[in-house]
Amino acid sequence: MIIVTGAAGFVGSNLVLALNRRGHTDIIAVDDLKDGTKFRNLVEAEIADYRDKDQFLQQLTEGTLGPIEAIFHNGACSDTTEWDGRYMMTVNYEYSKNLLEYCLTHKIPFIYASSAAVYGGGKVFKEERQYEAPLNLYGYSKFLFDQYVRRRMQVGLKSQVVGFRYFNVYGPREQHKGKMASTAFHFNNEVLATGNCKLFEASGGYKDGEQRRDFIHVDDVCAVNLWAWEHPKVSAIFNLGTGKSQTFNEVANAVIKFHGKGRIEYIAFPENLKGRYQSFTEADMSALRAAGCGHRFMTVEQGVQKYMEWLNKK
């Protein structure tokens, strides 16, 4: 069987569906459905069973689940504005350590989600310690687990471990994330409601709406996760973006082009984000390319068009 944690979430649900398209249905979906609305993300999926995250960890420890082919670990608190350190470290750090150690002991491939948030406000996004300085608690929890994985790698691994530092992921099945959903999602709603896409004014040395991020479609994220599983000799922590940053203006214009209406409205930069906001991200993809991954990523224009078609059909 295959385990997908965070399976009712954004990346997790899309990964379950990507596995289905490859013919895999013997999947245990693991999540915390305190937010019950997330069930909608799994309605189209074929799974063998569902487990609450705590129940799953208990059964894993007791050894009552049976043989496991791989664990894709996407479960996490991804709210960058969450400052409850005890909660964040329990969910994102301790839980991840438990899964990793189980996989290493039982020689099970472990492919997990890290985040570009580990880089903080830096200008170099390369998988090396000197470039890592998270600005928020979420980023720190991901950074700390990456460091734990690095220490385990230094003493040698007997099974595959791959971490992916997701950059700005957007696409289907993110609606439950609310304020943490992608700008493409919010721009779509804004154009339909008011006709205006709201972008931040100049900040961080960038002009109005010209702040840049590495935006990556969730289908590309899933494809690279599956590529890793298909290459069991690959173990490393990799960036997972497109390798090319684009502006928020470009995202907004792609949404406006799809609808054939709308305009951009610039709003004041929020006080609570000053010093905690990444004005620029761009994944250095050289390590993933050197490992043999030749996947071609969608541009913002291609990915947003595909996403808008899905959103507005729904």
What is the model's pTM? 0.95
pLDDT digits (tens, 9 = 90+) for 79-127: 888 899 999 999 999 999 999 999 999 999 999 999 999 998 888 999 9
Is a pLDDT exceeding 90 seen at residue 39?
A: yes
Residue positions annotated with a catalytic role: 138, 177
Q: Tell me, what's the pLDDT at 297?
A: 98
Report domain extents, the chain: 2-169+215-243+282-297, 172-212+245-280+301-313
Across 208-228, average pLDDT: 97
Place of tokens 């409205």: 265
Q: Tell me, what's the pLDDT at 56?
A: 97
Across 280-299, average pLDDT: 97
* Backbone φ and ψ of 196, nearest 5°: -115, 135
**CATH of region 2-169+215-243+282-297, choose from 3.40.50.720, 3.40.50.1100, 3.10.400.10, 2.30.30.90:** 3.40.50.720
- Do the domains spanning 2-169+215-243+282-297 and 172-212+245-280+301-313 agree at the CATH topology level? no
Is a pLDDT exceeding 90 seen at residue 215?
A: yes
Is a pLDDT exceeding 80 seen at residue 314?
A: no
**CATH of region 172-212+245-280+301-313, choose from 3.10.20.30, 3.40.50.300, 3.40.309.10, 3.90.25.10:** 3.90.25.10
Reported as a pLDDT band with limits 50, 70 and 90, residue 211 is: very high
Is a pLDDT exceeding 90 seen at residue 274?
A: no
* 196 token code pair: 């205006």
